[in-house]
Amino acid sequence: MNLMNPCGRNTTRDLTRHATRRAALLACSLLAASWLSPAAQADTVVPPAAQAPLWAAAGQEQPALLETLRALVGIESGSSDREGLDQISELIATRLRELGGEVNFIEAAPADLYRMEDTPPRPGRMVHAVFKGSGQRRILLIAHMDTVYPRGMLAQQPYRVEGNRAYGLGIADDKQGVATVLHTVALLKRLGVNSYGQLTVLINGDEEISSPASRKSLARLGREHDLVLSYEATRVGGDKLSLATSGIAMASLKVVGRASHAGGAPEAGINALYELSHQLLQLRDLSVPERGLKVNWTLAKAGVVRNMIPPEASAQADVRLLRVSDLQALDSQLQARVQRHLLPGSEVSVTLENRRPPLEPSDAARRVGAHAQQIYREIGHTLQIDDRPEGGGTDAAFAALETRAPVLERLGLQGFGAHSDKAEYVLLDSIQPRLYLGLRLIGDFAAGRVAGAD
C-alpha cells in the first residue's frame, strides 16, 4: 500500500497521519465485515482480526523504513570498499543493539576465507545479532550490505522518493533487504512477538563477490537454524518468493608452451594458442541443458607480440548449475579431458572455482511457501512461489548447504535496476505487505502454525 499523501507531500508527519487513518479504517472494516453477507465478506480484503494489529503496524512502519533506506544508501559500500563497509556495518550494528540484540562483528579467519581472483585483501566483516525468545524454534534472517558499485557513483544515484518509488545507489540490491530485516525485528519487538527460541540476523559485506569470507558462517548458521529467510528483492514485475537459485562457477584453463621466433624458428617453440584451441574444442560440449548445467567458454587470451610463438594462453568459462552434485562431476570431466594434448611438451591445467552453489528446492520450503501464499491471499495479494531458478545466485544457497530446514529467498521489497547504470528503485507500496509477510512467517513458524514444515 502506498502511504504517500495524495496532495504530493511526503513528510514523516503526513505519512504517519495517513497510516494511523488507515489503521482506524481497517478496524472499522473488521467490525463491519462481521455483519456482511457471505458474498460481501468474500470481497472484503482484510487480514484475520487477530492479525489486524500486525497489518496496521506494518503500514505505520513505512516512514521509519524509508529513513533507514536514506541512511543506508548515503554510505557507499562497494564490495572492495572496506572503509565504507566498516561505516555501514557500524550503523547496522548500532541499530540492532538498540533493538536489544546481542551483537558482534565476525571477521573470517584465514582458514575460512575462500580466496578467488576478485577477492579483496580484506573482505567486509559480518554483523551478527541474536535475539532470545520464549519458544524453541530458531530462525535466521540474512541480507547483504555490499554493492557492485565503485566509490563515487552515489552522486549519480542519490536517494530520492518520487511517487511510488524510492531511488538510490544499491537500494534494490540489497540495502532494501537490510532495512526490511531491521524493521521486521523492530516490529517484532514492538508487538511483543517472541514465540521463537532464537532469532538471528546476519548481514554480510561480500555477497556481490561470491561471499568468500562469509560462506562458511552462512552454512554453519543455516545448519543451526530451523528456518532461513533471505531478503534479496523480488521483481517489480513479479511478486514472488524463490525456492531455488542457480549455482555459479568459473572454469579457468591455462596453457604453457615455449616462445620462439615466429619467422626464424617457429619449430623450436610450442604454440600455446594452438594447444588452447585444441583444449577448447574438446571442452565445448560439457553443457547438459536438460539438467540446467551450462558451460560456456567466454574469454580467451594468448600471445605477446605478433612475431613470437605464444608461450602462454588462457581461457575462462562461465558455469551455471542447478544441482550441487554437478559441480564435482564437472570438475572430474575437466581434469580428465585436459590430459589429452595436441602438442607434446605443452603444459595444461584447469581449475574450477566454486563461486556459489545452487539453492535446490525442498519439500519443507514448498510447505512454508504455501503458507506464505495463504498469508498473501488474506490481504488480497497474489504471491508466486518459484521453484525454478532465474539464472542468478544468492547467499541462500550457502545457508542451505548443510541443512534440510526450509530456506526461502526474495523476502525483500519489489525492486528494479540492480547491477546496472540505470536508477535502482524499490516500490513503496510493497513495504507494508512485505513487512507483514515476514512478521507472519516468523510468528507462525515459531508457533508451529506452518503445516508440515518440520
Domain boundaries, the chain: 12-245+359-446, 249-356
| Average pLDDT of the segment spanning 431-450 | 97
Helices (H), 258-382: 272-282, 325-337, 363-378
Beta carbons of 424 and 416 less than 8 angstroms apart: yes
The beta strand positions in 9-125, using DSSP E, are 102-106
pLDDT at 43: 35
36 falls in which pLDDT band (50, 70, 90)?
A: very low
**In what helix (H) or strand (E) does residue 293 lie, and over which residues does it extend?**
none
What's the rounded Cα separation, in Å, for the pair 292 and 275? 29
| CATH ID of 249-356, from 3.40.50.300, 1.10.10.10, 3.30.70.360, 3.40.50.360 | 3.30.70.360
Q: What contacts 3, CB < 8 A, 6 or more positions away?
A: 15, 18, 19, 22, 59, 62, 63, 428, 432
- Asked if the domains at 12-245+359-446 and 249-356 fall in one CATH topology, the answer is no
> What count of other Cβ atoms lies within 10 Å of the Cβ of residue 395?
30
Beta carbons of 395 and 204 less than 8 angstroms apart: yes
In sequence order, the β-bridge partners of residue 18 are none
9 falls in which pLDDT band (50, 70, 90)?
A: very low
pLDDT at 47: 85
Q: Is the pLDDT of residue 376 over 60?
A: yes
Q: Is the pLDDT of residue 8 over 70?
A: no
Q: What contacts 204, CB < 8 A, 6 or more positions away?
A: 124, 126, 127, 142, 144, 145, 146, 211, 213, 214, 217, 218, 395
Window from 20-29, 134-143, 198-207, 355-364 with minimum mean pLDDT? 20-29
35 falls in which pLDDT band (50, 70, 90)?
A: very low
pLDDT at 11: 35
| Average pLDDT of the segment spanning 128-151 | 98
Grid cell, residue 141, equals 534472517
pLDDT at 392: 80
Q: Is the pLDDT of residue 165 over 60?
A: yes
In sequence order, the β-bridge partners of residue 318 are 250, 296
pLDDT at 45: 62
Length of the chain: 454
46 falls in which pLDDT band (50, 70, 90)?
A: low
pLDDT at 423: 87
Q: Is the pLDDT of residue 353 over 70?
A: yes
116 falls in which pLDDT band (50, 70, 90)?
A: very high
Q: pLDDT: is 84 or 24 the higher one?
A: 84
Cis peptide upstream of residue 206 (ω within 30 degrees of 0):
no
50 falls in which pLDDT band (50, 70, 90)?
A: confident
pLDDT at 452: 73
What residues are labeled active site?
A: 146, 207
The beta strand positions in 39-184, using DSSP E, are 102-106, 126-132, 138-144, 160-162, 165-167
What's the rounded Cα separation, in Å, for the pair 151 and 412? 25
pLDDT at 421: 72
To 10 degrees, the CA torsion angle through 32, 35, 39, 45?
Answer: 20
Q: Is the pLDDT of residue 333 over 70?
A: yes
Task: HSE, CB side, 13 Å, CA atoms: give it for residue 400.
Answer: 27
Window from 248-262, 278-292, 419-433 with minimum mean pLDDT? 419-433
pTM of the model: 0.86
What digits encode the pLDDT tens for the residues 296-324?
A: 999 999 999 999 999 999 999 999 999 99
pLDDT at 17: 40
Computed over every residue of the chain, the mean pLDDT equals: 90
| Average pLDDT of the segment spanning 90-115 | 97
pLDDT at 419: 83
To 10 degrees, the CA torsion angle through 401, 131, 85, 441?
Answer: 60
| Average pLDDT of the segment spanning 426-441 | 98
CATH number at 12-245+359-446: 3.40.630.10
Beta carbons of 321 and 292 less than 8 angstroms apart: yes
> What count of other Cβ atoms lies within 10 Å of the Cβ of residue 2?
15
